[in-house]
Structures are given as structure tokens and as C-alpha cells.
Amino acid sequence: MPDQRELATAAALEIPRFVSATVLFQTAMAERLGISPTELHGLQLVISGAATSPTQLARALGMTTGAVTRMLDRMEARRLVERVPDPADRRRLAVRPLPDRLDDVADLYSPMARFFGDRLARLDRRQLAALLGVLTDGRAFAEQEATRLRSGSRKEGVD
């Protein structure tokens, strides 16, 4: 059985492979839906509720609001989302997925969702907590690094 260091090394080496395979999967999904990978990413953010306005989408995707407007135009033309007045502030827009297309997206994701559901069900509470911690911390650090790289800073943690 591998020791702690060997397992940590193997896990660290697997992360970029996992990310690469995920990108391939997302690209295939986008092709199947007839949209770009960025549009699929935006659709996932809208479906999950992580981004419900054009401004939130722009921030989450690292795009300008103008680019997101054009992306939403294309997504509306494909009947994936709609822009509606924000019920909390009618001066703003909200972005919602169109329910009739959610089934198409869910059908394409269902094999992957079942796979991960089955794998996660095998983990105990301690393992799930550890995995969630790595994923949560990793997401936060990746967001921080994206901001740093876009700012032109060369050193970690430098503004």
C-alpha cells in the first residue's frame, strides 16, 4: 500500500489530468448542445443559481458585460436562457434557464451525475468532509490566482 507521501504525490499529479478530462467532457457537451464551452459554463452558472444576472455572469466568467450580452443573445437564440426584469429591481435584468431545455442538458449530464453520485456514496463522512475541503479551498485559491494573473502581478498574494 502506498504511503502518505506517495498518495499525496499521486493525487497532485492526477489533478491536472482530471481537469483536462473535465474540459474534454465539457467541450463535448457544448458541441452536442451546439454552443461554445464558455456558453455551457455560463448556462451551468445560471442553472445552478451561481449567476443570475448578466453582471454576475460577466464576473464569474471573467468577461466584459458587453461580451456577456452577445453570449446571452446567442444563448437566447438557441432557447437555453431568457433575460427578464429582475423582480427585486426592475431596472436590472435576471437570467433564467428555459425549463423546456433543462431536460436536454440533464439528459446529457446524467451518466456523469450517476457516476459521481455512486462514487461519493462510497465515502464516509470524514472522507467527504476532506474532499469538500480540498474542492472548496481549491476553488477559492484558483479564483484568487485568476485575479492575480489578470492584474499582472507576478507573485502570489501580491496586489
Q: What is the pLDDT of residue 46?
A: 96
Per the structure, the count of domains in the chain is: 1
Rounded CA separation 78/47 (Å): 15
Q: Which residues contact 33 (CB under 8 A, 6 or more apart)?
A: 40, 78, 80, 104, 105, 108
Q: What is the pLDDT along the chain (159 residues), one digit of tens a residue?
A: 789 999 999 999 999 999 999 999 999 999 999 999 999 999 999 999 999 999 999 999 999 999 999 999 999 999 999 999 998 888 899 999 999 888 889 999 999 999 999 999 999 999 999 999 999 999 999 989 988 998 888 776 544
Distance of CA 61 to the CA centre of its chain: 9
- Does residue 157 belong to any structural domain of this protein? no
* Cell numbers that stand for 129 in this block: 468532509
- Count other C-beta atoms under 10 Å from residue 81's C-beta: 22
Domain of residue 37, CATH code: 1.10.10.10
86 in any annotated domain: yes
Does residue 133 fall inside a structural domain? Answer: no
Cα–Cα distance measured from residue 72 to residue 9, given in angstroms and rounded to the nearest whole number:
41
Residue 144, in any domain of the structure: no
